[in-house]
Amino acid sequence: MQQVVRTRLYRAGRLEKEDFPVAEISDYLAQPDTVLWVDLCAPDHTDLELIAGELDLHALAVEDAVDSHQRPKLDRYETHEFLNLYAVRLDPLSGELHLSELAAFITKRALVTVRKDSSFDMDAVVAQWDGSPDLAVHGVGFLLYGLIDNVVDGHFDAVQTFDEQIEQLEDLLFDDKPRDKDVQYRSFALRKSLVTFRRVVLPMREVVNTLMRRDGDNIAPQLLPYFQDVYDHVLRATEWTESLRDLVTTIVETNLTLQGNRLNVITKKVTSWAAIIAVPTAITGWYGQNLPYPGFAEASGLRASILLIVVISGVLYLTFKRKDWL
């Protein structure tokens, strides 16, 4: 095999062996009280043939494990269950959401995880397993809980980061110096990421709920409270995501409204100044006519025109200022 393969053997709830060949899986499963974990990174159909033969995996499930862009789901076959889910990571600088697709074959005594790429940190899952050895006696359900809990915790961390990013976006929105371009770019990036995030988080409600209520013996009753805790996190992340999507939409609409308001203020001020400037233009144009009029060719005419400009322009300025048009 070319890809990275990790294996673990638990016997009676205790870790007994690691990194043994995949070809030995059936031999260990023939022994009592054994539970196996196999992890593969970026395998193809050929890579999975050996494991599929060892565990009697369904061809459709193997195909889904190899193909990318499957939806989060839990399928049930005669000898096993197939789980597909996504780990996420949000870049706080760009607002871009990075997905890591995972698949898992769940049998009564074995868990096979398939990573589509190396971006998902499986060491964190292993550390979580090692941190709760008292639960290892519950077999495959214990391994499955550690995997799903780690993924859902990543969902929750991402939605918290989304919330922080939107708070910063609100600060930009009401900044003293308009930053429309930054607000528009960040709003678009966050809304795009939230749409993608919703597609991978929303189905997790059904996945976890089905795991808890399905008739089967992969999850021991003692583990149900732990899966219920994961389910609560899924619900909170889902509800939070929905509210954040609405909030981003509101921010976009508010930004457009603020732009319209600023344009109205600018138009009002320009119009007011244009009215004030029109007064001296009209008066000097009148007094500039080459026709006799009171004060024509006399100093009194100049003084009268200046006085009219100052008085009328001043009255207009004070009137517009009182009406908050300037």
Shortest CA distance to 47 belongs to which of 109, 125, 39?
39
Contact at 8 Å (CB) between 110 and 55?
A: yes
Please indicate, yes or no, whether residues 20 and 157 belong to a single structural domain of this protein. Answer: yes
Q: In 42-155, where do the E strands start and end?
A: 73-76, 81-90, 97-106, 110-115
Same domain, 210 and 139: yes
Using only C-alpha atoms, the chain has a radius of gyration, in whole angstroms, of 35
Domain count, the chain: 2
Quote the pTM value. 0.78
Q: Give residue 10's pLDDT.
A: 95
Out of 230, 258, 286, a domain closes at: 258
pLDDT digits (tens, 9 = 90+) for 32-79: 889 999 999 988 888 788 888 888 899 999 999 988 888 999 999 988
CA torsion, ordered 148, 152, 157, 160, to nearest 10 deg: -170
Neighbours of 3 (CB within 10 A): 15
Lowest mean per-residue pLDDT among 160-164, 191-195, 235-239, 262-266: 262-266
Residue-level pLDDT at 99: 94
Tell which of 225, 258, 291 closes a domain: 258
Domain holding 272, by residue range, is 263-322
Q: Are 10 and 128 in the same domain?
A: yes
Tell whether 98 and 167 lie within a shared domain: yes
Q: Which of 210, 228, 258 is the last residue of a domain?
A: 258
SS3 content of the chain, % helix, strand, coil (to 5): 60, 15, 25
Q: What is the CATH number of the domain that holds 110?
A: 3.30.460.20
Whether 18 and 147 share a structural domain: yes
Claim to verify: residue 275 and residue 161 sit in the same structural domain: no
Does one domain contain both 84 and 206? yes
Same domain, 247 and 280: no
